[in-house]
Amino acid sequence: MHKIIEGGVCAPQGFKAAGVHAGIRKNKTKKDLSLIVSDVRAAAAGVYTQNLVKGAPIYVTQKNIADGYAQAVICNSGNANTCNANGIEIAEKMCALVEDAVGIKASDVIVASTGVIGQPLDIAPIENAMPALKSALSGDGSDAAAEGIMTTDLAKKEIAVSFEIGGKECRIGGIAKGSGMIHPNMATMLVFVTTDVAIAPALLQKALSEDILDSFNMISVDRDTSTNDTVCIMANGMAGNEMITAEGADFDAFKKALAAVTVYLCRAIAKDGEGATKLLECHVKGAKDKQSARTVAKSVICSSLFKAAMFGADANWGRILCAIGYSGADVDVNKVCVSLGSVKGEILVCKNGSGVDFSEEKAKEVLSEKEIDINIALGDGEACADAWGCDLTYDYVKINGDYRT
């Protein structure tokens, strides 16, 4: 079992982090440049957007961790460095600046950018901020790093857990950003995870690639798959456990702790969806297979109509049935049961594909809470899946109607 601890990405042994205001964003004070470093070279793995339009930093990061190792993450907010003619050059320059400032080889740096697409990223403010970024590096720096990668996020997203592998205490920490353009096909906006577990790069990649199928791939704010989605993990081995080089109990223990970190960050991202007032958590059970369960869960939390209904605390369950019906999953509509729940209780709204009587007053009370469960039983098998989303609100429109100008 794991327990939740303080420290974010600096909780694992041998990691430091920092975040500073470099002036990339117009805002005069918000931190917009973050750095995470490991004392030693770490096994590294990553998953990236499946959008054909990819941010330039993704190409550089893929190249830099192709050998399975990395030692630092640099990330700016305010500009995505995407669809720019000189994007690769700028991303490589960011890695070189890390090498100059802290002595970690440019080819061991994970680089990421988030913000507006299609505006050239000026390297000057980043270059000028490197001394401050270096001197801010500390074991307490996770908070600042989490802030430095935020764009329209309202809440910092940070978590760490400790657990045991072979009698050794190990830790995993993570920070994330993501609020709009969230509909990952492979990974969500930006997530950086650190761990002091000793694990071979191939196993680290396997653990991450399997994890995201049930974590970051199961959230959606607006069905817009970003060009810059990146989840990277560094494992520096400083916990002193016996190196994980094959599947087995140690690998499973690591995966379980990793899932605790990633699912926490998923819920945090969905809850902080642009303009969101509510976290929607859809639990599908009784599906004929895992993929059907995932497809149904994700379709429901993606429905604009249902999301708007949740904003209005309106138990308009027909929109849930509608979203199940067009999801593409093979479902027997006549077996579908749906209930809606929150801390205020649970109400059955649909049984075997048809409506049941329920108290609208009670439904309003249940749906006026901040975290809503949508429980769907398909009655078709044993598979289940969860997905996370948020309501669709006036503020989503406001934020995205004038984000750039």
Q: Residue 353 in contact with residue 321, Cβ under 8 Å?
A: yes
Q: How far is the CB of 226 from its own copies (least distance, A)?
A: 7
CB of 404 to its own copies, least distance (A): 5
The structure tokens listed for 330 are 């093979």
Cβ(162)–Cβ(34) below 8 Å: no
139 CB-side CA count, 13 A: 6
Residue 318 interacting with its own copies (CB under 8 A): yes
The verdict on 50 binding its own copies (CB under 8 A) reads yes
Residue 314 found at the interface with its own copies (CB under 8 A): yes
**Exposed/middle/buried for residue 343 (C-beta within 10 Å: 0-12, 13-18, 19+):** exposed
54 vs 226: CA distance, rounded Å: 8
Task: Report the C-alpha gap between 130 and 53 in whole angstroms.
Answer: 29
335 is a site residue for its own copies (CB under 8 A): no
Q: Cα torsion at 146, 70, 105, 78 (round to 10°)? A: -30
Is 188 among the residues known to form the active site? yes
C-alpha separations of 270 from 155, 196, 393, 403 in Å: 11, 27, 14, 19
**255 vs 351, beta carbon nearer its own copies:** 351
Active-site choice (49, 152, 188, 227)? 188
Near its own copies in 174-203, by CB under 8 A: 180-181, 185
Binding-site member from 88, 96, 117, 123 for its own copies (CB under 8 A): 117
Site string for its own copies, 80-99 (x = CB under 8 A): x-xxxx--------------
Instruction: Output 325 or 381, the one with its CB closest to its own copies.
Output: 325
Q: Which residue's CB is nearer to its own copies, number 171 or number 183? A: 183
Residue 227 sits in the site that holds its own copies (CB under 8 A): yes
CB-based contact 360:267 (threshold 8 Å): no
Rounded to 5 degrees, what angle do the CA atoms 61, 67, 73 make? Answer: 35
Nearer to its own copies, 138 or 304 (CB): 304
Contact residues for its own copies, defined by CB under 8 A: 50-54, 80, 82-85, 116-120, 180-181, 185, 222-227, 302-305, 308-309, 311-312, 314, 316-319, 321-326, 331, 333, 350, 353-355, 360, 364, 392-394, 396-405
